[in-house]
Amino acid sequence: MLRKLVSSLGALVVFGTGVALAQQFGTAAEAKAMLDKAVAAVKVDKAKALAAFTAGSDGFKDRDLYPFCANVSDGLFSAHPTLTGKSLKDLKDKDGKVLGEAILTTAQEGKVSEVEYKWTRPGSDQPVAKVSFVTKIGDQVCAVGYYK
């Protein structure tokens, strides 16, 4: 009886830890939903949307999820919490992959695609797999990434 109780408690701790991690970081479905919300916001009022993305306001910051955008013409970030005004084209992942160029060339109007790369998760110094959902909205390429 005691052995069964200890086993059940152990399973509960493992399950509980998994739930806590899932709640600490955004999921693929949540990232996709945020990108859909970001696309709608850009279509309604681009300037207001880009400002909200950069500020992380209006529901555009959820744990490690946030939208970012770049101008199609020059590849400069038009919205990002820390990189606005810098070049997305030059951005490389932790393995040296030129992910900014991949994001810019993969994005298509009316279609959501995925770009996978290695990035450091907040609170860690170890790069892990990350996927960004990317799309093009007029003169903007926008994305939201999640950690695998």
User: What mean pLDDT comes out for the span 8-18?
Assistant: 44
Host domain of residue 141: 26-147
Asked if pLDDT for residue 2 goes beyond 90, the answer is no
Question: Is residue 141 a part of any domain in this protein?
Answer: yes
Asked if pLDDT for residue 37 goes beyond 80, the answer is yes
pLDDT for the residue numbered 52:
98
- Whichever domain contains 115, its CATH number is 3.30.450.20
Question: Is residue 12 a part of any domain in this protein?
Answer: no
Question: Is residue 10 a part of any domain in this protein?
Answer: no
Structure confidence by residue, pLDDT tens digits, 59-98: 999 999 999 999 999 999 999 999 999 999 999 998 999 9
Question: Is residue 42 a part of any domain in this protein?
Answer: yes
Residue 63 near residue 25 (C-beta atoms within 8 A): yes
Domain count, the chain: 1
Question: Is residue 4 a part of any domain in this protein?
Answer: no
Residue among 94, 30, 42 at smallest CA distance from 68? 42
> What's the pTM?
0.84
